[in-house]
């Protein structure tokens, strides 16, 4: 992971690990120089102020879609 991020100059990551691994993986990403993370776990990440995190829940997104696409009665 560390070699690939540095070699490819990757700046952003999508975090899709088990919740129990989220904090450790986030720290690894930050140590590699990642500037932003799309967090798809259920864990609230504590990151330095210079790291941008967007929390994304597939379940919540699907629920939002279903409400917006219900037929009008």
Percentage, residues of the chain above pLDDT 90: 75
Q: Band of the pLDDT at 73, cuts 50, 70, 90? A: low
Q: Distance between CA atoms of 36 and 73, rounded to whole angstroms?
A: 43
Q: Tokens representing 51?
A: 């790291």
Cα–Cα distances in angstroms (integers) from residue 41 to residues 1, 2, 22, 23, 70, in the given order: 19, 21, 7, 10, 28
Q: What is the pTM of this model?
A: 0.81
β-pair type (52-55, 12-15) = unpaired
Q: In terms of Cα–Cα distance, which of 28, 33, 31, 25 is closest to 8?
A: 33
């Amino acid at each position: 992971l560390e070699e690939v991020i540095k070699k490819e100059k990757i700046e952003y990551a999508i975090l899709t690990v088990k919740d129990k691994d989220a904090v450790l993986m986030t720290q690894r990403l930050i140590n590699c120089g990642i500037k932003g993370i799309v967090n798809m776990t259920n864990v609230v990440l504590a990151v330095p102020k210079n790291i941008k995190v967007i929390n994304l829940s597939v379940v919540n997104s699907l629920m939002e879609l279903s409400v917006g696409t219900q037929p009008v009665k």
